[in-house]
Structure 1
Amino acid sequence: MDGAGQFTGWDEAAFDVLLRLDGEPSSELMREVRKDRERLVREPMVSLLHDLAWADPAFEDHSVWRYGKTAWWWQNQSAVVRVAPNIEIGLRFNLDGLRVQGAWWYADTLQIGRFRAAVAAEPSGSELGDLVSDLRNKGFEITGDLLKRVPRDYPTDHPRADLLRHRSLLAVRHLGCDDWLKTPEAVDRVLATHRQLSPLLSWLTANVGAERGR
């Protein structure tokens, strides 16, 4: 099928497969459930990303992860949408349901420097502070890799000292595993979450994702 409408939801049996993989599953068990996991867990994620990309071009550059050597990769079905260098939309399905995040991470020294400069400057820093506060008020978890102290090039009493400590920045929304997850409604839920994340992703792309002038 070339158009939208592939995603019909995750069947209850998908949770049964993940429940079998919970804890410390043996390699024999992982081999035993692989086909069921592919059909019931991973393939719906592929269909979800297809429908998201059909509805919004922002989701076109995506990947749906396969299997890793450790149990975590079997217990969590992840997908990533590339927005700009080191800036992504992430989706993850597991026994807790579906979560969506906007993430800037795995950055090099130059990109971290651009982030800090934009945080410290006006009006870009105030704008980011407002975006982060708004997402937090909407129920997003704001997290990331933080330094213990403000970087030495910036005053410790800077009004955005907490943001200056970030070496990565993630805004995470746990959508849960209510009945809508077993229906096509999940597409609309993810799109709505992306609309809330979009201003932050745009700020990161403009201020951090590429060098000025490029």
Structure 2
Amino acid sequence: MDVFEGWPADATVFLAEIAADNNREFWTAQRHRHAAAVQAPMLALAAELAPEFGPVRVLRPAVNRRFRPDAPPYRTDTGGVTTTSGGSALAVVLSASALSVTAGHWSFDTGQLRRYRAAVDGPAGEELTALLAGLDALVPDPGRPLTGTPRGFGAEHPRIALLRRRGLQLTCSRPAGEWLATRQPLEWVRATWRSASPVLAWLDAHVGAAEPVQRPRQATETPVVPLPS
């Protein structure tokens, strides 16, 4: 198994440079730096997290612009994502300025939102309130809350702030620095993901996974041939 020894200083330097010069010419000339300083450590980190949290999918450096044509062609960060058995996501992202982790659901689909609000309205909502109050470094992402009140609930509901949420994702960041070149990032990500586990268990039990997204097929659609990476 790959051993994570940290990201060298050139990792954050490269990410800052690709953010400032996000074009094919720069990438072609400098992609070897990404492979050595950014991607290889990320793959090693993912490999060490996998035995406890399951397979971690490492993000590809190129951006899929099929549905985001205005996005820059290359990622200005690197990261990995895994999911719990109940469908909650765990992610780690390194940018030029920070290492960040997230846990939960940034946005619920229709079924998840219905189940979430029903759970928050009942005794399980009191449990969730206590779990969130017991968090240390992790905090709920502000997300995109409703400005009004959800249908069927009044503004006087004791958990109206939770009911207004359209997703529940925990987040935590640490500034980039010399610590990234050690094994500390692995230890920090592992400990932070573990600390999120009670809230993720609540989400898995009461909200569950999102419905698979079905993309419409056109009658004249032709098979897509994967391009070499």
Structure (1 or 2) with the larger CA radius of gyration: 2
- Root mean square deviation of aligned Cα: 2.0
Partner of residue 36, structure 2:
39
Partner of residue 3, structure 2:
6
Letter in 1 for 2:6: G
Partner of residue 121, structure 1:
122
Greater percentage in helix: 1
- Residue 178 of structure 1 and its aligned partner are, at CA, apart by 3.3
Partner of residue 182, structure 1:
181
1:201 matches 2:195:
no
Are 2:9 and 2:178, in contact at CA under 8 Å, matched by a contact in 1? Answer: no
Change over 3 Å in CA distance of 1:200–1:39 after alignment to 2:
same
Query: 1:57-87 CA deviation, whole Å, 9 max, x = no partner?
Result: xx21320010215338521112111114652
- Residue 177 of structure 1 and its aligned partner are, at CA, apart by 1.9
Instruction: Give the ranges of 4+ consecutive aligned residues of structure 1 lying more than 4 Å apart after TM superposition.
Output: none
CA separation in 2, counterparts of 1:181 and 1:162?
36
**Structure 2 matches for 1:30-179, cutoff 5 A?**
30-54=27-51, 56=52, 59-66=53-60, 67-68=62-63, 69=65, 70-71=71-72, 73-84=74-85, 86-122=87-123, 124-135=124-135, 138-143=136-141, 144-179=143-178
Change over 3 Å in CA distance of 1:199–1:93 after alignment to 2:
same
Query: 1:113-169 CA deviation, whole Å, 9 max, x = no partner?
Result: 0001011111x101111222222xx23331223111220111221111010011111
Structure 1: gaps of 5 or more residues: none
The TM-score, its normalising length taken from structure 1, stands at 0.86
CA separation in 2, counterparts of 1:72 and 1:208?
35
Letter in 2 for 1:129: T
- Residue 18 of structure 1 and its aligned partner are, at CA, apart by 1.3
Letter in 1 for 2:99: L
- Residue 103 of structure 1 and its aligned partner are, at CA, apart by 2.1
CA separation in 2, counterparts of 1:130 and 1:178?
34
Letter in 1 for 2:138: F
**How many residues in Structure 1 have an aligned counterpart in Structure 2?**
202
The TM-score, its normalising length taken from structure 2, stands at 0.81
Letter in 1 for 2:134: D
